[in-house]
Amino acid sequence: MKRGNKILGTCLLLCLIAYGLSHLSTFDTSAEGILRSEIIALPNGYGYQIYSGDQVLIRQEFIPAIYGQTPFSSKRDAKAVADLVMEKIKNRSNPQVTKEEMEELKIRILSSP
């Protein structure tokens, strides 16, 4: 059952990324203030949402690039990754985050709840 949830979560994340990338051409990401992030409080930590105007492009409740569904342990960590993803979107590159980037940002990873 847990493996099924992981596969479903991964599929949903990939669909969100594909949807966001396919609709980037309709968003003016060069204008200041169009893209913004919001840190969201979750039961066991934090996540983030990235908006274009009033539309949610990405809702990330778990730390990307790691196994499992672990939320960020701090607002700072969630903000650092959200900023990285927004920069990638502004540069029209793939917003996927790698383990190496997580290490560079010094994201603290706690075990899954």
pLDDT tens-digit readout, 60-109 = 999 998 888 999 999 999 999 999 999 999 999 999 999 999 999 999 87
| Band (25; pLDDT cuts 50, 70, 90) | very low
Rounded to two decimals, the pTM is 0.69
Average pLDDT of the chain, as a whole number: 81
CA 75 vs CA 7, 25, 28, 54: distances in Å? 27, 30, 27, 22
Distance CA 40, CA 94 (A): 23
Dihedral angle at the C-alpha atoms of 53, 79, 13, 3, nearest 10 degrees? -160
Least confident of 28-37, 45-54, 74-83, 87-96: 28-37
More confident residue, 88 or 29: 88
Residue 3 in this model has a pLDDT that exceeds 90: no
Written as six digits, the tokens of 75 are 């607002």
Distance CA 39, CA 58 (A): 12
Instruction: Give the number of other CB atoms < 10 A from CB of residue 66.
Output: 14
Distance CA 57, CA 50 (A): 6
